């Protein structure tokens, strides 16, 4: 039996890591993509905050509107979930999106963009652009819309902005990115320097997900697939949060350096001891702190006047 001292030594981050490893241990070479997606959704199902969850079709893209009490009707956060463009959904990220809605006091539209390998790049980007257009067609001004996303969803935050900019479309007010996956070529030094302390994401896995998304002939340095390689000029203000234990840490730090060099107003938060998208785990105290910071950033740029105390 474990002693009381052993139990005390187990941190909330350790428990989160075990939750993730329990999922991955159940997968083999024979596990179908459909089963992986189902397992991921079930592992993170539920909603821990009091928001209204309403299914919605955003011009044919299935999604969910999460509405906290007293949220303004003329403001919205468009949320893109993570999962390496292979797994993840509105269901798996409902709690994270809901906690962002609750903390910011703003409506969130979370979408189920198409996933690979059935739908490769740029299907996810096209769906995300469709959802952005839907919000504008509902009467929301771009200045009253912000983007948020984690991991692959953080990639979409940037790629939708870049695609909109290059097409001459108006850009949203701001973007909040959690552990964004910005470099599908996986060139960052952190893939080696953080390999021993990252419990899940190793470079071989990241490259396999990139091939799954791009196809065998896809270009991992296409700026709309890997925003790290894009001209980042003229993007709206960005907040980037990343854990220091992540192999994909440099996807954030390099993005920050390049964006700032291009004149983008970007704030980078590197969270000591944190894992990939640690914000998904409400049991981690730093998760709550990070979401409070993210919510304050979004409220500021959406000009949501009333202040809401963090949980």
Residues with a known catalytic role? 151
241-279 residues labelled b (16+ CB within 10 A) or e (exposed) = bbbebbbbbbbbbbbbebbeeeebebebbebeebbbbbb
What is the C-alpha to C-alpha distance for residues 303 and 311, in angstroms, rounded to an integer? 21
Is the distance from CB of 295 to CB of 288 less than 8 angstroms?
no
Sheet holding 145-150, edge to edge: 52-58, 61-67, 108-111, 76-80, 145-150, 174-178, 238-243, 266-271
List C-alpha distances in Å: 188 to 145, 206, 291, 309.
31, 12, 26, 37
> What does DSSP assign to residue 139?
T
């Amino acid at each position: 039996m474990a002693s009381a001292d052993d139990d005390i030594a187990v941190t909330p981050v350790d428990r989160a890591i075990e939750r993730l490893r329990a999922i991955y241990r159940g997968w083999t070479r024979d596990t179908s993509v459909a089963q992986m997606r189902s397992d991921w959704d079930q592992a993170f199902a539920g909603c821990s905050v009091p928001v209204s969850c309403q299914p919605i079709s955003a011009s044919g893209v299935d999604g969910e509107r999460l509405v906290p009490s007293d949220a303004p009707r003329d403001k919205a956060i468009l949320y893109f979930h993570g999962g390496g463009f292979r797994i993840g959904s509105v269901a798996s990220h409902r709690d994270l999106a809901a906690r962002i809605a609750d903390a910011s006091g703003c409506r969130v539209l979370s979408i189920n963009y198409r996933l690979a390998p059935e739908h490769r790049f740029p299907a996810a980007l096209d769906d995300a652009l469709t959802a952005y257009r839907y919000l504008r067609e509902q009467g929301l001004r771009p200045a009253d819309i912000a983007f948020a996303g984690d991991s692959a969803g953080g990639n979409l935050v940037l790629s939708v902005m870049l695609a909109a900019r290059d097409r001459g479309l108006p850009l949203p007010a701001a973007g909040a990115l959690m552990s964004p996956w910005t470099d599908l070529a996986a060139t960052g030094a952190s893939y080696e320097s953080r390999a021993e302390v990252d419990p899940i994401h190793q470079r071989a896995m990241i490259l396999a997900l990139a091939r799954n998304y791009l196809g065998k002939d896809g270009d991992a340095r296409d700026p709309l697939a890997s925003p790290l390689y894009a001209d980042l000029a003229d993007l709206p203000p960005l907040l980037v949060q990343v854990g220091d234990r992540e192999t994909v840490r440099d996807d954030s730090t390099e993005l920050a350096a390049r964006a700032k060099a291009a004149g983008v107003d970007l704030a980078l938060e590197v969270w000591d001891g944190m894992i990939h998208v640690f914000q998904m785990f409400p049991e981690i105290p730093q998760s709550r702190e990070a979401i409070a910071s993210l919510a304050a950033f979004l409220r500021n740029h959406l000009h949501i006047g009333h202040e809401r105390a963090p949980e």
